[in-house]
Amino acid sequence: MTQAKPFELIYDQDVRDHLEPIERKFYLLIRETIEEQLRFEADVETRNRKPMRQPNLLGGEWELRFGPNNRFRVFYRISYPEREVHILAIGVKKGSVLYLGRSRFEI
């Protein structure tokens, strides 16, 4: 059985700013989870990876949840012809508030 061609992961330039307030000890977890979850099956719905009902303000069509208490969120969109996953935002959800870098959004 042949394995599907992997998706190329492309990070939006704003993602670096989104990571600043997140403790550095979580950076490896974030990187490894994105690689593991999105490299080959970015478009497969799971318990913690779902298409969004409506694209968010950043253009994200999918959401990945993970980490302690599922607090981390990765918003992304998929470009099928190029086999690319565009990582648009990495945030932290606390209660009903999502933090993307220094920005705060009520959910």
Q: What is the pLDDT of residue 10?
A: 98
Q: What is the pLDDT of residue 24?
A: 96
Mean pLDDT (the chain) is 93
End-to-end CA distance of the chain: 43
Q: What is the DSSP letter of 92?
A: E
Q: What is the pLDDT of residue 59?
A: 84
Q: What is the pLDDT of residue 22?
A: 96
- State the average pLDDT over residues 64-70: 96
Asked if residues 103 and 27 have their Cβ atoms less than 8 Å apart, the reply is no
Q: What is the pLDDT of residue 3?
A: 67
Asked if residues 27 and 19 have their Cβ atoms less than 8 Å apart, the reply is yes
Q: Classify domain 8-106 by CATH number.
A: 3.30.2310.20
